[in-house]
Amino acid sequence: MSLLTKMDPETVRFFSGSSNRPLAADLCSYLDVPLVDTHISRFSNDNLYIQLGATVRGREVFIVQSLTSPVNDHLVELLMMLDIARSSAAKEVHAVIPYFSFARSDKKDAPRISITARLIADLLQTAGATHVMTIMLHSPQVHGFFSMPTDPLTSRPVLKKYFQGRDLRDTIVISPDMGQAKSAARFAKELGLPVAAGNKERISDTQVRINGIIGDQVSGCRRALVYDDEIATGGSIEEIVFHLIRAGIEEVWVVCTHGVFVRGGLERLTRIPEITEIVTTDTVYIPPEQRHPKLHILSVASLLGDAIQMNHSGLSISNLFAYGDDNA
């Protein structure tokens, strides 16, 4: 008999902000619970007005919101929804943030700047979140910025399932930089593949330089699986792909959890003939009209649903953690 406790639609409430309603709907369908309406509008002075569409008193409340563009609007939406749930006597308030974009601001590497990831973590707790669930934080230390229980999930089970049935002979997993090398090494191990990482030097927000490859030799491999947590402008991926092509790689699969694809990032990569496939997840919503034939989007609804169900049932979810011992 399963140890999972089926969620009672009368005792839980699921709401979505405006950033990724399709993922929220898929999540609720997976859990067999309704997605309750959220009424979002603006006053004449541009201030947001939000009303949750059902009572939350004494309920477990789940608010799904990715921090995607326009990031600041979506953040304020999330903070307001958390505050509404808390002040309306919700029993628990769970912030489900598939893409936590502020995780990139994780250190003070210049004078007079904010460690914004820590600031947002504090704001979430102040607004009323009693628990946070997210997927693939940019770096492990961001987890430590949260004072409330926080579950940083990994997308590797979803990506592994997609690639397990493929012919992976003569394939090597490549991380564009050393910062993501450990995550890439875990993914490579699960697929039984060698791994290497680019020695990246960041020149600006949109410009990087790859000075070489560190790790297993690329020579002898026909295909590279370039693995990263997030792709925005595509600059790092483009640079590492050109380096790999010069090293003799004939085909490239690009894989990431968060397909942000701004400033022509997707077009930049699809123009490279050697890139035959770009695989991402739906943590960031990409409208159908902006998708390319090379782009494949995998759903994380089941990943989030399993984690929520296990957490609701009081079961360990360490096997789904990005940095847990089970994924070392």
Q: What are the tens digits of pLDDT across the range 279-293?
A: 999 999 999 999 999
**Catalytic residue numbers, as ranges:** 200
Backbone angles phi, psi at 11, to 5 degrees: -110, -5
Any domain includes 242: yes
Any domain includes 315: yes
Looking at the structure, tell me whether residues 149 and 198 fall in a common domain.
Answer: no
Backbone angles phi, psi at 3, to 5 degrees: -85, -5
Any domain includes 240: yes
Looking at the structure, tell me whether residues 39 and 140 fall in a common domain.
Answer: yes
H or E element at residue 235 = helix 235-246
Looking at the structure, tell me whether residues 286 and 230 fall in a common domain.
Answer: yes
Residue 326's pLDDT is what?
46
User: For residues 94 and 73, what is the distance between their CA atoms, to the nearest angstrom?
Assistant: 19
Residue 328's pLDDT is what?
35
Q: Could you tell me the residue range of the domain that residue 150 belongs to?
A: 12-154+302-327
Any domain includes 4: no
Residue 43 near residue 88, CB atoms below 8 Å:
no
Any domain includes 259: yes
Both tokens assigned to 114: 């904010």
User: For residues 328 and 326, what is the distance between their CA atoms, to the nearest angstrom?
Assistant: 6
For the question of whether the overall pTM of this predicted structure is more than 0.75, the answer is yes
Any domain includes 133: yes
Residues near 224 by beta carbon (within 8 Å), at least 6 away in sequence: 171, 172, 173, 174, 218, 241, 244, 249, 251, 252, 253
56-92 per-position pLDDT tens digit: 999 999 999 999 999 999 999 999 999 999 999 999 9
Question: CB count, 10 Å around CB of 323?
Answer: 17
Residue 308's CATH number: 3.40.50.2020
Looking at the structure, tell me whether residues 68 and 199 fall in a common domain.
Answer: no
Residue 203's pLDDT is what?
53
* Closest to 60 measured CA to CA, from 274, 240, 314: 314
User: For residues 219 and 172, what is the distance between their CA atoms, to the nearest angstrom?
Assistant: 10
Looking at the structure, tell me whether residues 183 and 113 fall in a common domain.
Answer: no
The per-residue pLDDT string of the chain (328 residues; one tens digit each, 9 = 90 and over) reads: 367 888 999 999 999 999 999 999 999 999 999 999 999 999 999 999 999 999 999 999 999 999 999 999 999 999 999 999 999 999 999 999 999 999 998 899 889 999 999 999 999 999 999 999 999 998 888 999 999 999 999 999 999 999 998 999 999 999 998 878 888 999 999 999 999 998 766 655 556 666 677 766 788 899 999 999 999 999 989 999 999 999 899 999 999 999 999 999 999 999 999 999 999 999 999 999 999 999 999 999 999 999 999 999 999 998 888 765 444 3
Looking at the structure, tell me whether residues 143 and 165 fall in a common domain.
Answer: no
DSSP 245-314: HHTT--EEEEEEEEE---TTHHHHHHT-TTEEEEEEEBTS---GGG--TTEEEE--HHHHHHHHHHHHTT
When divided into structural domains, the chain yields a total of: 2
Any domain includes 6: no
